[in-house]
Amino acid sequence: MPASVQTLQTPKLDNYDQSAALHGRTEIFRDVDYKLLQMLMRYPDETMSREELKRCFDRPALDVSDRQLDTAMRRVIQKMLVIWPTYPLVKFEPEDSYLYSEKAPKKRKNND
């Protein structure tokens, strides 16, 4: 394996700074974004519904719109791509849920 290729490790979360770090890259998160990341990382490889994730906000889940959640999740996804640009660790899943996974996506087969 070439020296420039880094293997994925679980990002280190810092509760004091509300940051995530991996391979010398660090990103600081907004309060709600950090809570969303923590919840997703607590249950790796399990999809979490919007309703479950809305509990991370500092108000009742009924008062949080899907758009507000999706906007916060977009920030989380973008920041996680900064610390691990190889493939997304946090992603949207069909049927309105999100997933944290450290598994590399499967390569698509060419049907030629």
> What DSSP state is assigned to residue 71?
H
Least Cα distance to 13 among 83, 78, 75, 69 occurs for 83
With respect to residue 62, please indicate whether it lies within any of the assigned structural domains.
yes
pLDDT of residue 5: 60
pLDDT of residue 3: 46
The segments of the chain whose pLDDT lies below 50 read: 1-3
With respect to residue 35, please indicate whether it lies within any of the assigned structural domains.
yes
pLDDT of residue 60: 85
CA-to-CA distance for 48 and 42, rounded, in angstroms?
11
With respect to residue 111, please indicate whether it lies within any of the assigned structural domains.
no
pLDDT of residue 111: 62
The SS3 call for residue 103 is coil
Least Cα distance to 76 among 28, 24, 17 occurs for 28
With respect to residue 94, please indicate whether it lies within any of the assigned structural domains.
yes
User: What CATH number does residue 42 fall under?
Assistant: 1.10.10.10
With respect to residue 108, please indicate whether it lies within any of the assigned structural domains.
no
> What DSSP state is assigned to residue 64?
S
With respect to residue 5, please indicate whether it lies within any of the assigned structural domains.
no
Give me the DSSP letters along 12-55.
EEETTTTEEEETTEEEE--HHHHHHHHHHHHSTT--EEHHHHGG
Domain range for 90 is 12-100
With respect to residue 73, please indicate whether it lies within any of the assigned structural domains.
yes
With respect to residue 1, please indicate whether it lies within any of the assigned structural domains.
no
Q: Structural domain tally of the chain?
A: 1
